[in-house]
Amino acid sequence: MSSGSIPPGSVVKDPGFPTKQENYLTNSKGILSWMFTLDHKRIGVMYLVGVSLAFLFAGILALLIRYHLMEPDGKLFKGANANNMYNQLFTLHGAVMVFLFIIPSIPAALGNFLVPVMLGAKDVAFPRLNLASFYLWCAGAIFFVAALFGTGLDTGWTFYTPYSTTTDTSVIAATMGAFILGFSSIFTGLNFIVTINTMRPPGMTWFRMPLFLWATYATSIIQVLATPVLGITLLLLIAERTLHIGIFDPEFNGDPVTYQHFFWFYSHPAVYIMILPAFGIISDLIAVHSHKRIFGYRFIAYSSIAIALLGFLVWGHHMFTAGMSPMTTIIFSALTFTVSVPSAIKVFNWLATMYKGSISLTTPMCFALAFIFLFTIGGLTGLHLGTLATDMHLHDTYFVVAHFHYVMVGGTLVAFLGGVFHWWPKMFGKMYSEAGGRLSSLIIFIGFNLTFLPQFVLGSRGMPRRYATYDPEFAYLHQMSTYGAMLLGIGLLTALVVLLHSLFRGKDAPANPWGAATLEWQCTSPPPFYNFERAPVVGDPYDFSKIEWDSENERYVTVEPERETVPEEKPAIQPAH
């Protein structure tokens, strides 16, 4: 490994390993030290466990859905209650995935851990609020569980009126849950905006921030601006159900389409809450594992903000068939096309970053490549849906289902997994099996495509979504999709096993296992509870020239040319303040 040796005559900088007292995981013990912790890293880890459990639960529901759809008349549920069971299944799958998993996954789990460390700060601006957000998340989750064990929920995750105001299932418990989760999300976003604005150490200018922070910042703007509208919408929905206020319910002269406008005013920007942090992760992953400066830093940073702002103007494209005037519909279609441009920019920039890089096909890089592949498909099929005439055919069919799964699962989930694999050594100080990680990414990639590619064809052939039973001519495409879903489940399980295995059998991780230049890799793995003893020296986050592979110790280190230093002396007299 000639290329990876440390040039002679240079000083190696590496923080080494943390002591037990420093390590944030071990510096205090007991369940209470976790429950009342104000340390953003511990809160991040608790979120990681929480969202993973939510994902596991909703993932099992997804497998049950696919299993039911093996046969045209339904394989899992039989009898008079079959359709009802299926409806509850897909509603809970959607609601739990969206509200409990995807929205908090990257910002709350990875973001909480990373934002202050990447920034060089000791903590987020409001640590207590941060802990409160986590407990709000838990409370929201409890409401969802209560809905499940009450009379279930069969409205679809969108709670469309007037169905949601007339069904006799636990709509109120679920909407209360979503309302509380909304506030959890608002507080997290608010915390990050303030942290990034006021807690940057000297030298950390806006354009020295890693792109993950830019993406988180853009996400937080959406969380703060859009989520309150969801809050009031859900409150009005609860009032509609209990007091019949007649705003959304046509029986009392309300207008159901108004509900849809209100709902999508939040929920479309929420799509960008889900995908923007993924863009941030991928930008960092591609640059680090290509060991090359990110191409077009400012274009990527600005496009995140552009997406955040444009995302507020396109909610109407969920309602092209719902009864807006043709003029409104056309305007929303035009705006929808504009939002696709900044997303395309990012894909080209990532490719250009890889060009002439030094690519290591590590597990996180494999996930990043899968992300670009899958997200590009998801984005391009959005064009079919943004185009008005074709949307008349495709709206509310499996084409839409496939499209948003390519973006949400192929995009966000794959980026989340890539991020978890990338920062796992930092979070827990353990290296996982590379072979196992890469295998899991391959299985996930194949399983995912097998699940959702057939659904595009199902949709363009006219199979409506949310159908518990279907016409026999759609059967074999559905079966392919089901087999794919099982493969996808196996892949995800593999990833889980690889990660959990590392906790017990993994090698201790060096401070910088990937050769990254951002600040979180300059503290030990795992970081000490105080992150940085003194404000770190902030350099270019994408300057890899000073980072060398130390093959002896299997780690990357920062090297500096040797220079003479003034002997360390303490001044005899302390200077007076």
Q: Which residues 35-54 are close enough to bind another protein by CB under 8 A?
A: 36-39
Scanning residues 296 to 355, which ones bind another protein (CB under 8 A)? 296-299, 321-323, 325-326, 329-330, 333-334, 337, 340-341, 344-345, 347-349, 351-352, 354-355
Q: How far is the CB of 210 from another protein (least distance, A)?
A: 15
Q: How far apart are CA 571 and CA 574, in angstroms?
A: 7
Our CB check for another protein shows the closer of 22 and 146 to be 22
Our CB check for another protein shows the closer of 534 and 563 to be 534
DSSP state letters, 191-239: HHHHHHHH-PPTT--GGGS-HHHHHHHHHHHHHHHHHHHHHHHHHHHHH
List the Cα angle 55/56/59 in 5-degree steps. Answer: 80
Q: How many residues does the chain have?
A: 577
Our CB check for another protein shows the closer of 292 and 405 to be 292
Binding status of residue 205 toward another protein by CB under 8 A = no
Q: How far apart are CA 59 and CA 47, in angstroms?
A: 17
Scanning residues 400 to 439, which ones bind another protein (CB under 8 A)? none
Binding range to another protein, per CB under 8 A, among 206-214, 218-226, 433-441, 504-512 = 218-226
Distances (CA, A) of 151 to 68, 97, 100, 159, 173: 21, 20, 20, 15, 10
Our CB check for another protein shows the closer of 52 and 386 to be 386
Binding range to another protein, per CB under 8 A, among 25-33, 404-412, 519-527, 558-566 = 25-33
**Which residues are CB-contacts of 187 (< 8 A; sequence separation ≥ 6)?**
129, 130, 132, 133, 136
Our CB check for another protein shows the closer of 274 and 319 to be 319
- Cβ atoms within 10 Å, residue 425: 24
DSSP state letters, 233-276: HHHHHHHHHHH--SSS-GGGT--HHHHHHHHHHHHHHHHHHHHH
Angle between helices 434-460 and 363-386 (to 10 degrees): 10
Residue 512 in contact with residue 556, Cβ under 8 Å?
yes
Site string for another protein, 1-20 (x = CB under 8 A): x-xxx---------------
Name the DSSP class of 108: I
Name the DSSP class of 23: B
Q: How far is the CB of 564 from another protein (least distance, A)?
A: 26
SS3 (DSSP) at 11: strand
Binding status of residue 536 toward another protein by CB under 8 A = no
Q: Identify each DSSP E strand in 403-513 by its residue range.
A: 430-431, 507-508
Our CB check for another protein shows the closer of 253 and 565 to be 253
Q: How far is the CB of 5 from another protein (least distance, A)?
A: 7
Our CB check for another protein shows the closer of 177 and 379 to be 379
Structure tokens at 70: 């093996």
Number of residues that bind another protein (CB under 8 A): 158
φ, ψ for residue 575 (rounded to 5)? -70, 140
Site string for another protein, 144-163 (x = CB under 8 A): ----------x-x---x-xx
Q: Which residue has the tokens 């990660």?
A: 499
Binding status of residue 257 toward another protein by CB under 8 A = yes
Structure tokens at 128: 């207590």
Which of residues 15, 84, 145, 496 is near another protein by CB under 8 A?
84
Which of residues 64, 76, 199, 446 is near another protein by CB under 8 A?
199
Q: Are strands 507-508 and 547-550 parallel, antiparallel or unpaired?
A: unpaired
Binding status of residue 442 toward another protein by CB under 8 A = no
Scanning residues 463 to 502, which ones bind another protein (CB under 8 A)? 464-472, 476-477, 479-480, 483
Binding range to another protein, per CB under 8 A, among 46-54, 100-108, 361-369, 412-420 = 361-369
Binding status of residue 372 toward another protein by CB under 8 A = yes
**Which residues are CB-contacts of 79 (< 8 A; sequence separation ≥ 6)?**
none
Our CB check for another protein shows the closer of 55 and 395 to be 395
Q: How far is the CB of 496 from another protein (least distance, A)?
A: 25
Our CB check for another protein shows the closer of 55 and 259 to be 259
Which of these, 552, 553, 554, 560, lies nearest to 514 by C-alpha position? 554
Our CB check for another protein shows the closer of 274 and 487 to be 487
Our CB check for another protein shows the closer of 275 and 294 to be 294
Scanning residues 167 to 186, which ones bind another protein (CB under 8 A)? 167-168, 186
Binding status of residue 392 toward another protein by CB under 8 A = yes
Amino acid code (one letter) for 282: I
Our CB check for another protein shows the closer of 52 and 249 to be 249
Exposure on the CB side of residue 519, measured as CA atoms within 13 A = 28
Which of these, 217, 29, 38, lies nearest to 118 by C-alpha position? 217
Binding range to another protein, per CB under 8 A, among 55-63, 107-115, 284-292, 502-510 = 284-292
Site string for another protein, 96-135 (x = CB under 8 A): -------------------------xxxxxxx-x------
Instruction: Tell which phi-psi region holds residue 249, choosing left (phi > 0), alpha (psi between -120 and 50) or beta.
Output: beta
Q: How far is the CB of 349 from another protein (least distance, A)?
A: 7
